[in-house]
A and B are shown apart, each in its own frame.
Chain A
């Protein structure tokens, strides 16, 4: 029994050691990424829930296993306006670095509460899953310690390596849940039936997803679409292998993931652009950290950058009171083709970022590179 316990412990330790080896980064990289993520969310994605208060109470049908199930109906508009304002306020604080750990948690919790009520119309959607995992893990990564107006103090709660490792495992698990049923149904070695085409036909003929390359998919040969089925299953069931293999392997899988989403946008017009943030968090941003650090050392730039973010936040809060932000897109409200092009651009940028990072081999190499860069720039 004792042997088994020791063996389990050893396997567990080895597992996490390999995961940390594949994912670890300098905390300063995450601090720079925090600003990228916050700005991206502020500009393109602000969840809004104040519209829920306009819905009749009879429509309240929350998922049994959700926060909203503890309520007897939709709360008042004051509740939802408070949720919306808290979301924006916490996101601004997260971005400019005012107690980023608490801000991240406030953003995450209020977002999940808002979503619980949104899903009370009858359906849980899954576009929030990976981003919420990212926020949860990053809250304890120490990403608020640098490039921040009110930096977080060093805390025992924070561990950059553990938070990145946990995020990568959560990502692998989420992919597994998507892939395992596909494996049973799609790996049928039958060219007559196809899973990819099921998604395609439902989107193209049923929902009107007929943009970009979608009109041409119907001319694809059966062998190619059969290959898509197998590729999707292998992609969704394989991340843990890549993660345990090596740092380069993990980044290679992230590259495949971005390419997968890019092709999904092109062929199926399915947009999951928020996921891009979850993939690119594992890249090294110490170069950006150095640039931002130098820029923010100049008071004028610091005021301009901070002021811009606060102004976007204030505009967002104004929108809450005008109650016209249902679809949450600041840049392309309602213009679907523009949204698709925007998504393609983001996936393209993510792919370039990952390709650049593929060259960095070992976990220490990123950190070493940063230290060298810092040492060279120190006299400046």
Chain B
């Protein structure tokens, strides 16, 4: 019985990539890097907004998300603050139809009311930092940092999407 309680969440994570909460699982973080590499590559998404002079500048993510902890940045930006449409529900292979029927797997697309609410919230956040409030963009940045001095060797915007708030 105990073994089943412990193993089922593990099997779900291994098979479908979804985690059950609460469960007795710890993160493994089993990735590796080249020891002799002289550069460290990092990719992240971050919001940019337009300043009053028309130029785009990086938004202070901590203030932008406040009171949400900044470590949720990636996940919130990936969903474009819930404004992304037609997102596929989480997949559980052949179990998906059953879980949909049981209302466990469901679409989390924001309705019109929630979209309006988040747009007002985002406008206020942009205004607080002195940006134009009608739009902002989510930019994916690939950075290369030199090892061991930590200097930035290059920074490239590899993808961007403008989010309109009007």
Q: Which of B10, B22, B35, B99 contacts A132 (CB 8 A)?
A: B22
Which residues in window 71-90 of B have CB below 8 A to A?
Answer: 71-72, 74-76, 78-79, 81-83, 90
Identify the closest chain B residue to A229 (Cβ): B32
Q: With contacts A57-B117, A123-B71, A177-B26 known, what are 14 further pairs, Cβ within 8 A?
A: A56-B118, A57-B110, A58-B81, A61-B75, A63-B18, A63-B21, A66-B20, A115-B21, A121-B76, A122-B78, A133-B24, A174-B26, A178-B28, A182-B28
| Contact indicator B35/A222 (Cβ below 8 Å) | yes
Known: A58-B81, A177-B26. A191 touches B35 (CB 8 A): yes
| Contact indicator B33/A197 (Cβ below 8 Å) | yes
Residues of chain A lying within 8 A (CB to CB) of residue B30: 181-182, 184-186, 195
Asked whether any CB of chain A lies closer than 8 Å to the CB of B36, the reply is yes
* Docked CA distance A61–B10 (Å): 22
Asked whether any CB of chain B lies closer than 8 Å to the CB of A299, the reply is no
| Contact indicator A58/B118 (Cβ below 8 Å) | yes
Jot down 14 A-B pairs with beta carbons below 8 A, ordered by A: A51-B68, A56-B114, A58-B82, A64-B90, A65-B18, A67-B21, A121-B68, A124-B19, A129-B23, A174-B25, A177-B25, A181-B30, A198-B29, A326-B69
Q: Which of A66, A116, A184, A205 contacts B40 (CB 8 A)?
A: A205
Asked whether any CB of chain B lies closer than 8 Å to the CB of A69, the reply is yes
Give a binary string over B103-114; 1 marks a CB under 8 Å from any A CB, 0 the rest. 011001010011
A-B contact count (CB 8 A): 172
Identify the closest chain B residue to A112 (Cβ): B22
The count of residues in chain A whose C-beta lies closer than 8 Å to any C-beta of chain B is 67
* Docked CA distance A179–B34 (Å): 21
Asked whether any CB of chain B lies closer than 8 Å to the CB of A225, the reply is yes
* Docked CA distance A166–B74 (Å): 36
Residues of chain B lying within 8 A (CB to CB) of residue A169: 2
User: Which residues of B come within 8 Å of A, CB atoms?
Assistant: 2, 6, 9-10, 12, 18-36, 40, 42, 67-69, 71-72, 74-76, 78-79, 81-83, 90, 92, 99, 104-105, 108, 110, 113-115, 117-118, 121, 145, 147-148, 150
User: Which residues of A come within 8 Å of B, CB atoms?
Assistant: 51, 54-67, 69, 73, 112, 115-116, 119, 121-126, 128-129, 132-133, 166, 169-170, 173-175, 177-182, 184-186, 188, 191-195, 197-199, 201-202, 204-206, 218-219, 222, 225, 323, 326-327
| Contact indicator A193/B35 (Cβ below 8 Å) | yes
